[in-house]
Amino acid sequence: MTALGVMDLSGKHVVVVGGGSGIGRATAQAAAAQGARVTLSSRNRDRLAEVAQAIGGGTAAVPLDMTDAQGVAAWAGAVGALDHLVISASSAAHGPFAEMEMAALTGMFAAKFFGPYQTARAALPQIGDGGSITFFSGVLSRRPGLNCAGLGAVNGAVEGLTRALALELGPAIRVNCVSPGMVRSEAYAAMPAETRERMYEATGESLPLARVGETDEVAEAVLFLMTNSFTTGAVLDVDGGHMVRQYATR
Ligand SMILES: NC(=O)c1ccc[n+]([C@@H]2O[C@H](COP(=O)([O-])OP(=O)(O)OC[C@H]3O[C@@H](n4cnc5c(N)ncnc54)[C@H](OP(=O)(O)O)[C@@H]3O)[C@@H](O)[C@H]2O)c1
């Protein structure tokens, strides 16, 4: 048992799939700062190498495309034994229900549901007792937005998987899910800067905390789920109060 409030990860191996950017990178940095040995994974090798070097302390980079079943098996072998697996990697697709192409929907499920599913399954034999898996969903599972039916559904699927695995993998391994609200990250990098800032502002205004989130704030929640020994099967909302926001802007 650790002293109250201490999220100590000394001697632990933390693997962050999605660690090259956004919330994953912030989680990797925070875990390393708490003493963990960290491995970063995602598809972009150059970015992984850059982030691993910036974090330092022996941070490793093992590239992975979660949608490639054979690649996932090889990745698990390369990563080796671990304590905490975090899967923040995903991709999103938006569009009206009647118009969104099925290929976009199945591509999103491949990256945000089946990818994390098979990645967690491949890593499972290597996760030590007392370890954890942390998945990512998002507010849209329970507070839907227009043109986000597919994204809401895939988030709901991840939350369902979390609860089922918490039951099946306990007591050795805890399984939880973080559900972020809108957070400034590379997820929105493709948007024109002005449109993006307007979106952050409009969403922020609608929230009890009157702003969107920062990646570090979500990383802190991931560390809590990794280190709190009595939390499993939880979906932790880190969303500035999005779940309780007023339905019309103030
Ligand atoms: N930011 C938000 O406002 C927000 C809101 C709600 C929910 N979320 C959820 O929070 C999680 C983290 O989001 P974020 O903002 O940190 O996003 P992000 O910065 O876009 O990071 C996503 C990461 O996923 C990796 N990735 C994508 N497809 C992959 C694949 N097939 N295999 C391996 N890696 C893959 C990307 O790296 P490569 O391109 O190198 O593969 C990238 O590093 C996601 O699940 C997201 O849906 C975020």
One digit per residue, pLDDT tens: the chain, 250 residues?
455 657 999 999 999 999 999 999 999 999 999 999 999 999 999 999 999 999 999 999 999 999 999 999 999 999 999 999 999 999 999 999 999 999 999 999 999 999 999 999 999 999 999 999 999 999 999 999 999 999 999 999 999 999 999 999 999 999 999 999 999 999 999 999 999 999 999 999 999 999 999 999 999 999 999 999 999 999 999 999 999 997 765 5
User: Is the minimum distance from the CB of 150 to ligand 1 under 6 angstroms?
Assistant: no
Residue nearest to atom 1 of ligand 1 (CA): 183
Residue 134: CB atoms within 10 A of its CB come to 27
Ligand 1: distance of its center to the CA of 35 in Å?
A: 24
Name the residue among 176, 174, 143, 181 with its Cα closest to residue 159. Answer: 176
Cα Rg, the chain, nearest whole Å: 17
User: Is the minimum distance from the CB of 213 to ligand 1 under 6 angstroms?
Assistant: no
Tokens of 84: 């905490």
Phi, psi of 103 (to 5 degrees): -65, -35
Which distant-in-sequence residues (6+ apart) come within 8 Å of 62 by Cβ? 39, 40, 41, 75, 78, 79
User: Is the minimum distance from the CB of 20 to ligand 1 under 6 angstroms?
Assistant: yes
| CA atoms of 150 and 157, how far apart (whole Å) | 11
The secondary structure of residue 140, as a DSSP letter, is: G
CB 27 within 8 A of CB 223: yes
Structure confidence at residue 207 (pLDDT): 95
**Residue 20, class by beta-carbon neighbours within 10 Å (0-12 exposed, 13-18 middle, 19+ buried)?**
buried
* CATH numbers and ranges of domains, the chain: 13-187+216-236 (3.40.50.720)
Structural element, H or E, at residue 120: helix 115-123
| The pairing of beta strand 60-61 with beta strand 37-41 | parallel
Tokens of 209: 């905390």
Residue nearest to atom 20 of ligand 1 (CA): 187
